[in-house]
Amino acid sequence: MKYLGMNYNIDRENHRIDINGSTEDIKRWIITLDKVIYKGGYLQQLERDLNNLENIIQPTQFTFSHYFRIYYNNNSLTYCPNVSGKEAKDFWFKIIEKNFEEIQKEFKKE
């Protein structure tokens, strides 16, 4: 699925959303995720990587909470549950999908 210049793949079987786009798109997505879901609470921890994102080639993991994590580099991002067990992943992935919808709405506003 293509949306606002980025490619998205919602992979329910593997409990992940994969996003591909420009460095600026990925940076904006991470900032918006933090803003929408965590009210900007993690932005300071991510700031160094976001300011240097164009040089990050290998996927870097960031854990937002006990329940969610992302892997990102300069042109891609994976958003997934940070839990084990199929039932737990199924439960938290539904929340990830709702978060994803909220982030897309925020992108439309900007």
Read off the pLDDT of residues 8-28 as tens digits, 9 standing for 90 and up: 999 999 999 999 999 999 999
Q: Which of 14-23, 30-39, 72-81 has the lowest average pLDDT? A: 30-39
Domain count of the fold of the chain: 1
Q: pTM for the whole thing?
A: 0.87
User: Which of 30, 110, 38, 102 has its CA nearest to residue 67?
Assistant: 38
In the predicted model, what is the mean pLDDT of residues 43-48? 87
Note down the domain range covering 32: 2-109
